[in-house]
Amino acid sequence: MSGFTRREFISASAATAATAAAATAGANPAAWGVATLRQEPTAAPGASGAAPNLPVVIASSNGLGGPPARKSCVELAMELMLAGKDPLTAVVEGVALVEADPSDQSVGYGGLPNEDGVVELDASVMYGPSHRSGAVAGLQRIMHPSRVAKLVLERTDHCMLVGEGALRFARAHGFEEMNLLTEESRKAWLEWKEHHSDDDDWLPEGSNEIGKQAAADRNWRHTFGTINCCAVSPAGDIAGVTTTSGLSWKIPGRVGDSPIIGAGLYVDNEVGAAGSTGRGEAVIQICGAHTIVEAMRRDPRLSPTDACIEACQRIVDKTKLPRLRTKEGRPNFGVMFYAVRKDGTFGAASIQEGPEFAVFAGGRARREKCAFLYPKGS
């Protein structure tokens, strides 16, 4: 049963039911708190050559599937690890498939652009054995920001390069420049541009009247798609990557959680790894991925799922602004966390019920449901 022990699975179901019941009954889940999941510690990987849960790859849901012609991120990452590649190379090459896929409008080529119609990409990587990281932010015209982030880790003494400096670094390393805006993403941007306000001079096709273009029933909220992928090798070494085109229609220069070590990604080779997708501002403000890994370090029996739930709860508790809350007082945005321990146990959680995550473990790639704080429709 995936990376969970049967005992943990039952506890997780009970905990989910408990928080669901609290929410359904109108109780405040923040006051209710989070049921604590426990699992029996497993043998240290590599100690006797026996590491029953390894290797493992986890990712956000876009780590599995995609167009029929292409392999998925978790499949390629697993294949590379089994062929002897290190887990950092494995996850970076895994997400590269998604970065190159124009049908995923949240990552790389074909990502949704900023408010000026320019695609700006963010990515970070972290490698457990060396505890080194690399990141780029606001990178334009390069399809694979995660590969550039890996080179920042490998070929500089720095942790992050941004904007023009990141582009120059990519050029110096032979990356090809290209227009990342596909026709589909350009049209989506233009539609947003022409409809998001009725107080400007942009008119949609067929509209002759200024002030009439904003469709009140359209949801022009921004989107935050991203891919996070973390892996533990057969030897118990850990690596992770997070890569994104960030918030759609963002203010140029806006940087989310994905390239920020400790927010959208964190790896500790003694403990595990965590990453996130969703509203980056909320993740940055609780140091999401670091919070999860530190929670797992603090309590070696805390499951990755429960560590992710704790981080979701922290976001709920810290979301104070009325404009970011529903009428029930909950966050009106989505955040998902994904985590894996060094022993190969893994989990994911979302504030609201619904999202899934991708996993390749036990010789099988599949999607599993994220744990959650609030059931659908509550």
CB-CB contact of 2 with 371 (8 Å): no
Return the number of the residue (45 or 246) whose C-beta is nearest ligand GLY: 246
CB of 204 to ligand GLY, least distance (A): 27
- On the question of a cis peptide bond just before residue 55, with omega within 30 degrees of 0, the verdict is yes
CB atoms within 10 A of CB 370: 25
Using alpha carbons only, give the angle 260, 142, 290 rounded to the nearest 5 degrees: 15
Question: Which of 11, 62, 146, 258 contacts ligand GLY by CB under 6 A?
Answer: 258
Burial 89-110 (b: 16+ CB within 10 A, else e): bbbbbbbbbbbebeebbbbbbb
Longest dimension (CA), the chain: 74
246 near ligand GLY (CB under 6 A): yes
333 near ligand GLY (CB under 6 A): no
CB of 100 to ligand GLY, least distance (A): 19
Sheet bearing 132-139, strands edge to edge: 160-162, 132-139, 121-127, 238-244, 227-232, 56-60, 356-361, 364-369
- DSSP state for residue 42 in the 8-state scheme: P
End-to-end alpha carbon distance in the chain: 29
Spot the catalytic one: 42, 226, 291, 345: 226
Question: Which of 213, 277, 319, 345 contacts ligand GLY by CB under 6 A?
Answer: 277
331 near ligand GLY (CB under 6 A): no
292 near ligand GLY (CB under 6 A): no
Interface segment toward ligand GLY; rule CB under 6 A; list 43-51, 166-174, 271-279, 323-331: 271-279
Q: Residue 303 and residue 36: Cα distance in Å, rounded?
A: 9
Interface segment toward ligand GLY; rule CB under 6 A; list 22-30, 73-81, 143-151, 278-286: 278-286
CB of 111 to ligand GLY, least distance (A): 10
Interface segment toward ligand GLY; rule CB under 6 A; list 168-176, 192-200, 253-261, 359-367: 253-261
Any catalytic annotation for residue 223?
A: no
280 near ligand GLY (CB under 6 A): yes
114 near ligand GLY (CB under 6 A): no
Q: Which two tokens stand for residue 315?
A: 């976001």
Interface segment toward ligand GLY; rule CB under 6 A; list 52-60, 130-138, 156-164, 273-281: 273-281
Question: Which of 2, 16, 60, 244 contacts ligand GLY by CB under 6 A?
Answer: 244
Question: Which of 75, 120, 257, 353 contacts ligand GLY by CB under 6 A?
Answer: 257
278 near ligand GLY (CB under 6 A): yes
CB of 209 to ligand GLY, least distance (A): 35
CB-CB contact of 286 with 314 (8 Å): yes
What element of type H or E holds 280? helix 280-284
226 near ligand GLY (CB under 6 A): yes
CB-CB contact of 23 with 374 (8 Å): yes
CB-CB contact of 62 with 101 (8 Å): no
Return the number of the residue (214 or 324) whose C-beta is nearest ligand GLY: 324
Interface segment toward ligand GLY; rule CB under 6 A; list 10-18, 22-30, 277-285, 299-307: 277-285
306 near ligand GLY (CB under 6 A): no
What element of type H or E holds 188? helix 183-195
Residue position matching structure tokens 């070929």: 155
CB-CB contact of 285 with 251 (8 Å): no
3-state secondary structure at position 274:
strand
CB of 246 to ligand GLY, least distance (A): 4
CB of 88 to ligand GLY, least distance (A): 21
CB-CB contact of 309 with 34 (8 Å): yes
Question: Which of 56, 88, 153, 247 contacts ligand GLY by CB under 6 A?
Answer: 247
Q: Which residues bind ligand GLY (CB under 6 A)?
A: 224, 226, 244, 246-247, 256-258, 264, 277-280
Active site (catalytic) residues = 226
